[in-house]
Amino acid sequence: MGTQSYGHRVLVVDDSAFMRKAIPMLLANEPGLEVVGTARDGQDALDKIRQLQPDAVTLDIEMPVMDGLTALAKIMAMPDPRPVVIVCSTLTTKGSHEALKALRLGATDFITKDPQAIGGSQESFRSDLVGKLRAVLEHRPRRALGVVKTPLPIPTTKPVTLPKQAPTSFSLGSREFGLVLIGSSTGGPPILETVIKRLPQRFSAPVVVAQHMPALFTTSLATRLNEECQVRVEHADSSRPLERGVVYIVKGGMHGVIRRQGGYSLEITDRPTDALYKPSVDVLLGSAATPAGKDALGIVLTGMGADGAIGAKRLHECGGMILAQAAESCAVYGMPRATFEAGVTSAMLLPEQIGQALSRMAATGLRAA
């Protein structure tokens, strides 16, 4: 008699018959992951979720009958344990806008798809998809594969959200900061929006953000934040001097490096070329250690992996302060956890608390270089 295997169940939702075949094939030999079914549109997805109870859903956006965004809203209204959702989006301007909207609706992450590339060189797409599935499912209980329980009903009302636990208050105290640096990855865009919306129009320092995303997506993110926030938000696709009260989103596929000649400036470069992530949070935070030191506040938000911990340690050793996102509010606790384990964080805070702490900087008249 064979032993029962345990892992996580995945449902693939796409109106393309090719993608409904290709994605299960890519996941077929991944230990602990089982594709339990496919769905061709949003309504079919809702029915299959009730029937198959997947732990994760890969969700296309443009589909007939019911589109992915409509289906996503309905999935997010399901009671726990509802599946986590990774949106499959085309690498286009429209795709990037829709992916960001999906993240605001509750999707945990997104993956860009190109059917031609998937049909040819599949390894990069497969490794990206597998890595993201494993990251978002890390703390979800593993269960016997091949077993389907009684289907769950889909409720008509949104479930009550349980209160989150975190420090009740935090103050930057008398510290003065002329530069704020933020790094984030999986689940980051809606958290960035929460934090940056708190900043007043006359914020006291420049803010530089390294978000793990392709260039089209960082462009859309900057556009969205500029429309929604009081501060000006720019897509930093070229080197420039930094102005206080402006938020700079580093272009995807490039690094942001802090320089200082009088005032602070941001260099946009492709070096180091061998960095695992572009933009790299380690590169951004570490580059500020010498030119900024104690004048810099570094913030590490949700994300898979450990990017940011090494840079945060360098910055901390030069006198900078480091904050990180509290575990209970992270889509993936990897980056904040690695920073915490490096022993350099002054506090682990909810996004709202990070925004509140920053908003007080303007009120207390802190300086900017």
- Tens of pLDDT, residue by residue over 302-351, are 999 999 999 999 999 999 999 999 999 999 999 999 999 999 999 999 99
Mean pLDDT score of the chain, rounded to an integer? Answer: 88
Angle at the Cα of 62 (from 20 to 71), degrees rounded to 5? 85
Domain boundaries, the chain: 6-144, 179-363
Short-list 350, 352, 349, 363, CA closest to 321: 349
**pLDDT at residue 250, rounded to an integer:** 98
Q: Is 14 assigned a catalytic role?
A: no
- Tens of pLDDT, residue by residue over 177-200, are 999 999 999 999 999 999 999 999
Kind plus residue range of the DSSP H or E element containing 150 = none
Q: Is 185 assigned a catalytic role?
A: yes
Q: Record the pTM.
A: 0.88
**pLDDT at residue 254, rounded to an integer:** 98
Short-list 57, 53, 81, CA closest to 71: 57
| Helix/strand/coil (H/E/C) assignment for every residue in 52-74 | HCCCEEEEECCCCCCCHHHHHHH
Work out the average pLDDT over 357-369: 63
Q: From the CB of residue 287, how many other CB atoms can be counted at a distance below 10 Å?
A: 24
Percentage, residues of the chain above pLDDT 70: 87
Beta bridge partners of 255: 269
On the question of a common fold for 6-144 and 179-363, the answer reads yes
Of the listed 8, 41, 204, 212, which one is catalytic?
212
Domain 179-363 = CATH 3.40.50.180: yes
Beta bridge partners of 266: 240, 258
Of the listed 89, 96, 185, 220, which one is catalytic?
185
Strand pairing report for 255-261 and 321-325: unpaired
* Strand ranges in 68-176 using DSSP code E only, listed in sequence order: 84-90, 109-113, 143-144
Q: How many CA atoms lie within 13 A of 243 on its CB side?
A: 10
Q: Is 89 assigned a catalytic role?
A: no
Domain 6-144 = CATH 3.10.180.10: no
Work out the average pLDDT over 52-66: 95
Q: What is the DSSP letter of 199?
A: S
**pLDDT at residue 3, rounded to an integer:** 60
Of the listed 44, 55, 109, 307, which one is catalytic?
307
- Tens of pLDDT, residue by residue over 215-232, are 999 999 999 999 999 999
- Tens of pLDDT, residue by residue over 8-54, are 999 999 999 999 999 999 999 899 999 999 999 999 999 999 999 99
Q: From the CB of residue 3, how many other CB atoms can be counted at a distance below 10 Å?
A: 5
Q: Which two tokens stand for residue 256?
A: 């942001």
C-alpha span between 132 and 122 (Å, rounded): 16
Q: Is the pLDDT of residue 133 over 90?
A: yes
